[in-house]
Structure 1
């Protein structure tokens, strides 16, 4: 059974991703099963991976589940590492130059 994060962690990470990293979410969704997505939002995550909702040009939505690349996680600090890894992998798969991480 995957680790379940507390509500404060979920709300904080999802707010940050959906307010500040919409382009990253779109790249992750496109590289992870919905190449025709025009918009994506992060909908949730647990210790095994993240969930996005990808929207296509015709308005249809598709759920996209992406497993963490390194290993299952149980600490908030590891969420960022895994999302950054997904972003970097998406950039590589799509031929996009990733921005530097601070």
Structure 2
């Protein structure tokens, strides 16, 4: 059973990701979602909707359809809030690598 973070922790992280990192959400979704059947099926939006100790969840939008995308944390299950940032940054770095994009420096 995955670790469940307090609702206020999840809300704060989702607010941060969806307020300050919309481009990162889209990049992560494009890298980890199944490829669409045609180029017209490219993901146009991604919103982080949930997370737990096993991974994050995004609502992914393609023309005419939305779906849920669950991605496991790269380092495995976590139980501490501070580990969420580390894992999201790792997902971002992996997404950049998969898509051939130069990652920005991390503060």
**TM-score when normalising by structure 2:** 0.91
Larger radius of gyration: 2
Say whether the 8 Å CA contact 1:34–1:64 is kept in structure 2: no
The CA deviation string for residues 36-95 of structure 1, in whole angstroms up to 9 with x for no partner, is 211100000000000001101x23111110000002000000000000000000000001
C-alpha RMSD of the superposition: 0.9
**Structure 1 partner of 2:39:** none
Secondary structure (helix, strand or coil) at the match of 2:97 reads helix
Q: Structure 1 CA distance, aligned partners of 2:56 and 2:44?
A: 19
Deviates more, 1:32-41 or 1:12-21: 32-41
Gapped regions of structure 1 (runs ≥ 5): none
**Structure 1 partner of 2:2:** 2
Q: Structure 2 CA distance, aligned partners of 1:75 and 1:65?
A: 19
Q: Structure 2 CA distance, aligned partners of 1:80 and 1:22?
A: 15
Whether 1:16 and 2:16 are equivalent positions in the alignment is: yes
Q: Which of 30, 35, 38 is 2:44 aligned to?
A: 38
Q: Which of 58, 61, 73 is 2:66 aligned to?
A: 61
Report how many residues are paired.
Answer: 101
- Offset at residue 34 of structure 1 (A): 4.3
Gapped regions of structure 2 (runs ≥ 5): 36-41
**TM-score when normalising by structure 1:** 0.95
Q: Which of 84, 88, 91 is 1:86 aligned to?
A: 91
